[in-house]
């Protein structure tokens, strides 16, 4: 594989970034390679983030030195694997400030977590005539499971609208809440627009009306401090691969009393206390929802990713990424051919845009030839695209290892795109 030193990182002239980005970049092996002979500029972080060597090494170490199943063995390897597995559960609990390890359930990702809540809590509590309220900026993963549930139960899916900046209309959201609203499902941060929703107000209004709240945090926990107790949400979900961890692992946080009241999502090993042909007694929390052999290596890798984030410092990451967001926004706003979608006052790490007269897929293809990786398409948010009247956007999404120089490279490549089609 050909490699390159990569584009130099630098702090912003006004000191807006407090991360040692060059040191951080050295932790990510993939950033050293060349793409089509150009240094890789990876700006597709909302789809998945790259993995630091600390995460990679933790997975290699597990398979090389500790590989065994958890919760079942009395031999040393199983005890080691179980300790590492459960240590990550405690790390996640501290990371999002949950009250107890029993409130942390390991799943395959945010999508499975939402489906678990829809199938377990939803089937047990949603009745015909009830209403589930989502917002107009949701990812498909926070729309489709609720559509399926509503169709099964005879309930109604209602949608809180947003404005042309991509901001939730709180007054309309509050108006839609009513005695039939049993659940609110809302994204913390829009994957297509970068909007940061006002969760404290959203949750308080929902609780005042007797509804429980599920928050999709897949685009939030890697960018900002999250405290589920302060937010007072009932469920919170996120995926490991978007926070520098492995694919195929994620987290469901749920209030203990709600998880206790919910039936298991799947049946099998480890989710039981005892089984006879006459009766099965289910395991205690959180194992009641963790049927079968889990992704042990994925959990270990997730723990290493959380350790890595905390070693850098969430507040430093937030500051650095906000500096990049403001810098990138100013660049794109200075190009008359470009339209930015998503200009909310509260926003993080997403630059979603169109280039006049050029399809986003063509933009992405030409940028790839310059070594620049972005995402093009509807971003699993087709209702958002419909709202803005476009079939797709180009999306550059930022992470802790990105730099202002990389955004300059993006701007230079976009000028080439415009020249090609002029």
**C-alpha angle 341/418/377, rounded to 5°?**
40
Give CA–CA dist 324/318, Å, rounded. Answer: 10
> Which of 19, 67, 119, 380 does the annotation list as catalytic?
380
**C-alpha angle 163/389/137, rounded to 5°?**
45
Cα 149–chain centre separation: 23
Alpha-carbon separation of residue 74 from 9, 61, 410, 414 (angstroms): 49, 21, 54, 59
Question: Three-state DSSP class for 204?
Answer: helix
User: Beta strand 280-282 with 272-275: parallel, antiparallel or unpaired?
Assistant: antiparallel
- Which residues have CB under 8 Å from 295's CB, separation 6+? 106, 108, 246, 248, 249
Question: Three-state DSSP class for 7?
Answer: coil
Q: Does the annotation mark 380 as catalytic?
A: yes
Contact 182, 130 (CB under 8 A): yes
Sign of the Cα torsion 226, 227, 231, 235 reads positive
Q: What are 47-52's contacts with CB under 8 Å, separation 24+?
A: 47/375, 47/397, 48/241, 48/242, 48/247, 49/222, 49/241, 49/242, 49/243, 49/244, 49/399, 50/244, 50/399, 50/401, 51/244, 51/245, 51/246, 51/301, 51/305, 52/27, 52/28, 52/244, 52/305, 52/308
Q: Known catalytic residues?
A: 380
């Amino acid at each position: 594989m050909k490699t390159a030193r990569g584009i130099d990182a630098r702090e912003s002239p006004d000191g807006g970034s407090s991360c040692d980005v060059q040191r951080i970049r050295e932790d990510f092996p993939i950033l050293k390679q060349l793409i089509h002979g150009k240094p890789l500029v990876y700006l597709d972080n909302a789809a998945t983030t790259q993995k630091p060597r600390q995460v990679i090494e933790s997975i290699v170490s597990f398979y090389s030195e500790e590989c065994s199943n958890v919760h079942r063995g009395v031999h040393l390897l199983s005890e080691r694997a179980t300790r590492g597995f459960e240590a990550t559960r405690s790390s996640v609990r501290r990371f999002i400030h949950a009250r107890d390890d029993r409130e942390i359930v390991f799943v395959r990702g945010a999508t499975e977590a939402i489906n678990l809540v829809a199938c377990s809590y939803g089937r047990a509590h949603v009745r015909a005539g009830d209403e589930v309220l989502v917002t107009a900026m949701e990812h498909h993963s926070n729309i489709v499971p609720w559509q399926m549930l509503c169709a099964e139960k005879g309930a109604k899916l209602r949608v809180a609208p947003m404005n042309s900046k991509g901001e939730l209309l709180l007054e309309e959201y509050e108006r839609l809440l009513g005695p039939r609203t049993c659940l609110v499902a809302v994204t913390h941060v829009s994957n297509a627009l970068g909007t940061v929703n006002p969760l404290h107000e959203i949750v308080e209004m929902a609780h005042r009306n007797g509804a429980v709240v599920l928050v999709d945090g897949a685009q939030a926990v890697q960018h900002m401090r999250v405290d589920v107790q302060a937010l007072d949400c009932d469920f919170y979900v996120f995926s490991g691969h978007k926070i520098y961890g492995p694919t195929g692992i994620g987290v469901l946080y749920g209030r203990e009393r709600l998880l206790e009241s919910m039936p298991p999502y799947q049946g099998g090993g480890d989710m039981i206390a005892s089984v006879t042909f006459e009766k099965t007694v289910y395991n205690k929390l959180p194992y009641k929802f963790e049927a079968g052999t889990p992704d042990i290596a994925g959990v270990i890798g997730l723990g290493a990713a959380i350790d890595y984030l905390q070693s850098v410092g969430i507040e430093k990451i937030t500051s650095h990424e906000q500096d990049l967001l403001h810098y990138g926004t100013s660049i794109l706003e200075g190009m008359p051919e470009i339209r930015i979608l998503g200009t909310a006052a509260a926003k993080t790490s997403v630059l979603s845009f169109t280039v006049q007269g050029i399809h986003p897929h063509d933009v992405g293809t030409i940028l790839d030839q310059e070594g620049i990786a972005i995402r093009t398409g509807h971003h699993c948010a087709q209702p958002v695209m419909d709202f803005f009247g476009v079939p797709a956007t180009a999306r550059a999404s930022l992470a802790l290892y990105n730099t202002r120089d990389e955004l300059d490279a993006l701007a230079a490549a976009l000028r080439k795109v415009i020249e090609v089609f002029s």
